């Protein structure tokens, strides 16, 4: 009797150290997506392309499963949740390609923040296009270097992948101005996913976030940081080379660690607080963590927010 073949354990491919050995971004994205949905009983995509629109009073004949019981508990009245079926959702991936995104820790020097960011972007595009939605891409540093408008054309996947693998990554960044530009150029209400280390003036980033929300775009902010940047593990006297023309300095890391971590936390919390105020999903992404942690949490958070 023939024994059934064992199911592929895709999780073995999701560790950043393993992914860094896979040069082709399209292969990485497929492995990531197939890996994090393997074994899941409910689709992580539920709610990805369905947006809550408004409430309306319950009418006889309405399906009771759409009654908002939380509203009933507050008002003692029955209201129905109405949704907009965005069968052609416009997903716009906004990826930071500035010089600071080229950082990689010594423990995995082949896996830069930019590699992690592009893997996330490629995976989300893969999801959207396979749902018959539209996906687009803006790659930026101090200006938008490449803008590909959302489309569900069969060739769109290859176009996005090619762009993510050929972008220069040696310039400064201007995140706020980029978000303003995206807000003005996107004519249709879209889901904007910003993937960046956010190493920029927080006031300008906040201004850009507010502009996108004013234009009624849905927004996700994924702050991608290397594990070294999150933990500052350095011990010996070290030459720190500033990216984006920040110069160099020789310093004793143990004397700087507390102040550095405090400043990083303050910067991230400022962005996070504004995101919360404007109903924007924010997540800090550690590049040392497998992407089966990052992406399902992102999709589950969005789905839960829209219920």
pLDDT in tens, 22-39: 878 888 888 877 776 553
What pLDDT does residue 139 have? 95
Q: What sign for the dihedral angle of Cα 256, 244, 149, 25?
A: negative
Which residues partner with 282 through β-bridges? 221
Residue 196: what are its φ and ψ, rounded to 5°?
A: -160, 160
What pLDDT does residue 1 have? 42
**Cα 77 off chain centre by:** 38
Out of 3.40.50.410, 3.30.470.20, 3.40.190.10, 3.40.630.30, select the CATH number for domain 10-42+86-305: 3.40.50.410
Question: Rg of the chain's alpha carbons, rounded to an integer?
Answer: 21
pLDDT, tens digit (0-9, with 9 covering 90-100), for 245-261? 555 655 556 667 888 88
What pLDDT does residue 37 have? 55
* Dist. CA 23–CA 110, nearest whole Å: 10
Could you count the other beta carbons within 10 Å of the beta carbon of residue 270?
A: 15
Maximal CA-CA distance, the chain: 74
Contacts of 97 (CB under 8 A, 6+ apart): 114, 139, 140, 141, 145, 167, 168, 169, 171
Domain with CATH 3.40.50.410 in the chain: 10-42+86-305
Sites in the chain below the pLDDT cut of 70: 1-13, 36-63, 65-66, 71, 78-88, 235-255, 297-298, 301-307
In 3D, which of 178, 171, 195 has the Cα closest to residue 99?
A: 171
What pLDDT does residue 128 have? 87
What pLDDT does residue 39 have? 39
Helix pair 25-37, 291-305: axis angle to 10 deg? 60
User: For residues 298 and 222, is the Cβ–Cβ distance under 8 A?
Assistant: yes
Count of CA atoms in the C-beta half-sphere (13 A) of 163: 25
């Amino acid at each position: 009797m023939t024994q059934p073949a064992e199911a592929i354990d895709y999780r073995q491919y999701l560790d950043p150290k393993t992914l860094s050995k896979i040069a082709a971004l399209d292969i990485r994205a497929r492995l990531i997506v197939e890996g994090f949905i393997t074994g899941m009983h409910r689709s992580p995509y539920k709610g990805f392309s369905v947006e809550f629109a408004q409430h309306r009073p319950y009418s006889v004949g309405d399906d009771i499963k759409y009654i908002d019981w939380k509203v009933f508990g507050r008002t003692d009245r029955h209201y129905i949740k109405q949704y907009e079926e965005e069968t052609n959702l416009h997903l716009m991936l906004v990826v930071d390609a500035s010089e600071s995104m080229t950082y990689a820790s010594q423990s995995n020097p082949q896996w830069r923040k930019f590699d992690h960011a592009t893997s996330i972007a490629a995976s989300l595009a893969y999801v959207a296009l396979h749902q018959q939605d539209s996906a687009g891409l803006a790659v930026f540093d101090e200006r938008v270097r490449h803008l590909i408008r959302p489309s569900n054309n069969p060739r769109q996947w290859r176009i996005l992948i090619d762009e993510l693998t050929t972008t220069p990554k040696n310039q400064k960044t201007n995140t706020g101005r980029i978000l303003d530009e995206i807000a003005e150029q996107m004519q249709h209400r879209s889901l904007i996913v910003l993937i960046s280390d956010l190493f920029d003036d927080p006031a300008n980033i906040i201004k850009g976030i507010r502009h996108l929300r004013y234009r009624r775009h849905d927004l996700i902010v994924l702050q991608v940081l290397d594990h070294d940047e999150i933990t500052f593990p350095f011990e010996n006297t070290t030459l720190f080379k500033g990216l984006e023309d920040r110069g160099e300095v020789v310093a004793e890391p143990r004397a700087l660690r507390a102040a550095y971590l405090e400043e990083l936390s303050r910067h991230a919390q400022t962005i996070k607080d504004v995101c919360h105020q404007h109903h924007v999903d924010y997540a800090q992404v550690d590049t040392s963590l497998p992407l089966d942690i990052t992406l399902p949490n992102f999709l589950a958070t969005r789905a839960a927010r829209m219920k």
